[in-house]
Amino acid sequence: MTPPSGLPARVRVTTPPLPLAPALARAAARLCPEAPQEVTGAALAIAGGSVIGAALRWTGGGALGVDTGWRGRGIEEALGEALGNEG
């Protein structure tokens, strides 16, 4: 996915295939601890090889989390948009 123009240059947003690979699932769980293991949609923000943001959707709910140092840089919006366009 092409990042929105307001997104920091080194950040990319992706919608990985489900189920999430174990390392991605652990990173997403750290950012969205309320999410169940089985999700129906996911968008991840990655910078420098680390997951810095996650938007997850599951039956009956959803969550969005971004590492503290990355908040307010357009990542939340990009994740929401990517998850909304998934599927």
**Per-residue pLDDT reduced to its tens digit, 20-54:** 999 999 999 999 999 999 999 999 999 999 999 99
Tell me the C-alpha distance between 34 and 74, whole Å: 23
Q: In angstroms, rounded to a whole number, what is the distance separating the alpha carbons of residues 85 and 87?
A: 7
Domain coordinates of the chain in residue numbers? 11-85
Q: What architecture is domain 11-85?
A: 3-Layer(aba) Sandwich (3.40)
The percent of residues above 70 in pLDDT, for the chain, comes to 93
Q: What is the pTM of this model?
A: 0.89
